[in-house]
A and B are shown apart, each in its own frame.
Chain A
Amino acid sequence: MHRQIARLLLVCACLSVGPIPLHAQDFKLFDRTVQVHGFFSQGFIYTSGNNWLTMSTLNGSGAFTDFGLNMCSQVTDKLHIGAQGYDRNLGQLGQYHPSLDWGFADYRFKTWFGVRGGKVKTTLGLFNDTQDLDFLHTFALLPQSVYPTDLRDATIAHLGADIYGAVSLKHGLGDLSYTVYAGHRSDSIYSGYPYYFSSFGAHITSFGGLQYGADLRWNTPLKGLLIGASRLNEDITGKGSAVNPFNPGAGLLPYSEASKADWTNQLYGEYTLGRLRVDTEYRRYWRNEELVTDNSESFADIRGWYISGAYRICKRLQIGSYYSRYTITNVVAGALSAFYPSTTDTSQPANHDYDKVITARLDLKRFWNVKIEGHFMDGYGSGPYPNGFYTQVNPQGFKPDTNALVIKTGINF
């Protein structure tokens, strides 16, 4: 723990010594300007109650690092290209395996019609595509009921294409923006779901599939008010190996699961008035999957919402708070129901996570911020779809409440 705090302090010390010329870089290539931007963040979490986010947070953990680097260029009036590499380590997740975060060509025919092709960040709600970009947000951790950081791979990007555009409505009715997309989602085997599955002796080797959806958002005539809705459909297949629960002694057998119905609906609103910003979102994720190997089926209904407020006291200091509410119910049908009883009572700590959060964000320089955040959680919502709490790092069993102190610092250029 002391070593991790020392690392955090070292980052701060390095950044605070003297004037640092941390600027975006650009250079010319084939007579076109190429911009280079990047970011880095380092966090530290200390909890009481349970270990959180696959880290040993009860002892304090600084295994909370991410960074990215991108290049982009406006090739012609209408063609923009770019790519970003991203890497992270969050406890047992990520483990410094770099990935292409996004990389695509964007051709805008008109303001109301453009096309992006390649690996594209998925537009889902207010912050899905920016959830890794710590410096854009007041909070060190976005509301985990809607943006679970351990499950970022599930929604973050797709390899495919987007059609997008924006139109101004007549009679002063504001602006409408839309995105329609389709592509292939591919989760890292170092993400939350494969890690969760490993607690059952399973080893997922591939997880992904078709992803398509749409987002519509309306900048209303009321200045500062944005409302919108997103829909995401998926057809996911997971493969690997697992212990047969009916005959554990038989060793590992091939395992596969496949979506029968998999969709997410998300509704959201944002209001800014001067230095005040209020956000609220509701997400419902319905997941009906066939556990092919075990001749069973599961129906998970995962619902989350939050309301957050942030106020900028002065140029350097922002404070914020949110209330985030997550519930999960699950019904298992077929042979596996004998091993995994249905969970439908959301009042049980295992089936919910209600999180009250307060934050202070200090912008020490334009490119450097430090956040201090307190989480007061009721419940641990541990399964059958993960949400921050895992049995592997809580072998002693879960306690109903968890309080957390999160300290995070980040830079960008």
Chain B
Amino acid sequence: MNYTKILLSAAGFAISVSPGAFAADIKVIANSSVRADTISAAELKLIYLEQKNSLDDGTRVEPVIQKDGQVHKNFLHEYVGKSDDDLQTYYRTLVFTGKGSMPKELGSDADVVAYVSRTKGAIGYVSAGIDTDGAKTLGIVYAGDGSQRRLITRVEPRYPETLRQLNIGGTVRLLLTIAPKGNVQNVDVLGGNPILAESAAAAAKQWIYSPSPSRTTTEITIPFDPSH
């Protein structure tokens, strides 16, 4: 690894260590049959708790979990709010009272990518840096002020060519302040590589959301995958 890569990676790591920083290490992926490009954190939690099995747009989804490992722990902590033991107890409660099924459990990132790629409606999570060819990456949208607004216009961020050549990727977390009319008034960087974050923020400032009676805040993640 050359000096530039070490420096850029270290800068990214330093800024990403904050509450909720686990999100930057995780990428949520879905089968190509899933129409949505983003999913709200609240919806993701409901899907993993089997309280919901289709997205707001009607697409049926099937959650996939990992057996163990740091990505698994971080995902549960960040998005489900349960430890692995608690989640296992929860799923067994569903299974043995007839109120749900045990989700597919896979042993590694590669297994998850392979299963999600070939299984209609599958949704899973893997390390942010892993190659997820064959599956699409979903952006995570966090609802602020208790309201959830629909994204109408999304401008994709530019991938800085230097970082792509150096194979540096990751996930950027942003806090957007959205005006009642739907335009993004302000963008705060919460985590991720600063160069990627600059590009992500520039794109997010051009996004348009559905109108709302009041100004709201929304936390989002934008993944950067150098292999794409």
Q: Mark A102-144, 1 if CB is under 8 A from B, else 0.
A: 1110101001000010001100000001100101100000000
B67 to chain A, nearest CB (A): 9
Which residue in A74, A77, A129, A166 is a CB contact (below 8 Å) of B101? A74
* A59 interface hit (Cβ, 8 Å): no
Q: Which residues of B contact A315 (CB under 8 A)?
A: 85
In the docked arrangement, what's the CA distance between A84 and B92, Å? 13
Let me know if A272 and B86 touch, CB within 8 A.
yes
| Stretch binding the partner chain, chosen from A167-175, A289-297, A389-397 | A167-175
B21 to chain A, nearest CB (A): 18
Task: Assess A37 versus B97: contact at CB under 8 Å? Given A136-B89, A171-B146, A172-B146.
Answer: no
Which residue in A70, A168, A223 is a CB contact (below 8 Å) of B96? A70
* A412 interface hit (Cβ, 8 Å): yes
* B5 interface hit (Cβ, 8 Å): no
| Stretch binding the partner chain, chosen from B45-53, B122-130, B166-174 | B45-53
Number of interface residues of B (CB under 8 A): 24
Taking residues whose C-beta sits less than 8 angstroms from the other chain, chain A's interface range is 35 or more
* B213 interface hit (Cβ, 8 Å): no
In the docked arrangement, what's the CA distance between A111 and B50, Å? 10
Q: Mark A254-287, 1 if CB is under 8 A from B, else 0.
A: 0000000000000000001000000000000000
* A72 interface hit (Cβ, 8 Å): yes
* A184 interface hit (Cβ, 8 Å): no
Within 8 A of A (CB), among B51-70: 51-54, 60
Question: In this complex, which of B51, B60, B95, B96 has the most chain A Cβ atoms within 10 angstroms of its Cβ?
Answer: B96
Let me know if A106 and B92 touch, CB within 8 A.
no
In the docked arrangement, what's the CA distance between A111 and B56, Å? 11
Q: Which residues of B contact A37 (CB under 8 A)?
A: 95-96, 102
Which residue in A83, A170, A312 is a CB contact (below 8 Å) of B98? A83
Q: Which residues of B contact A136 (CB under 8 A)?
A: 89, 92-93, 96
In the docked arrangement, what's the CA distance between A39 and B93, Å? 12
Let me know if A68 and B96 touch, CB within 8 A.
yes
Task: Assess A84 versus B85: contact at CB under 8 Å? Given A136-B93, A171-B146.
Answer: no
Dominant SS at the A interface? strand
Let me know if B97 and A129 touch, CB within 8 A.
yes
Question: In this complex, which of B53, B85, B98, B147 has the most chain A Cβ atoms within 10 angstroms of its Cβ?
Answer: B98
B118 to chain A, nearest CB (A): 15
Task: Assess A130 versus B98: contact at CB under 8 Å? Given A111-B46, A168-B42, A223-B81.
Answer: no
Within 8 A of B (CB), among A154-188: 166, 168, 170-172
In the docked arrangement, what's the CA distance between A68 and B96, Å? 9
Q: Which residues of B contact A120 (CB under 8 A)?
A: 98
Chain A residue nearest to B86 (CB atoms) is A272
* B160 interface hit (Cβ, 8 Å): no
In the docked arrangement, what's the CA distance between A130 and B100, Å? 14
Task: Assess A102 versus B97: contact at CB under 8 Å? Given A77-B54, A172-B146.
Answer: yes
* A82 interface hit (Cβ, 8 Å): yes
B102 to chain A, nearest CB (A): 6
Let me know if A130 and B96 touch, CB within 8 A.
yes
Let me know if A130 and B146 touch, CB within 8 A.
no
Let me know if B98 and A412 touch, CB within 8 A.
no
Q: Which residues of B contact A82 (CB under 8 A)?
A: 98
In the docked arrangement, what's the CA distance between A366 and B92, Å? 12
Task: Assess A106 versus B101: contact at CB under 8 Å? Given A111-B52, A166-B51.
Answer: no
Question: In this complex, which of A77, A102, A412 has the most chain B Cβ atoms within 10 angstroms of its Cβ?
Answer: A77
* A399 interface hit (Cβ, 8 Å): no
Q: Mark A85-107, 1 if CB is under 8 A from B, else 0.
A: 00000000000000000111010
Question: In this complex, which of B97, B101, B147 has the most chain A Cβ atoms within 10 angstroms of its Cβ?
Answer: B97
B80 to chain A, nearest CB (A): 12
Chain A residue nearest to B49 (CB atoms) is A166
* B99 interface hit (Cβ, 8 Å): yes
B136 to chain A, nearest CB (A): 20
> 5 extra interchain contacts, Cβ-Cβ under 8 A, other than A103-B98, A135-B92?
A39-B96, A77-B53, A121-B98, A166-B51, A170-B147
6 A-B residue pairs with CB within 8 Å: A35-B101, A74-B53, A80-B100, A84-B98, A272-B86, A412-B92
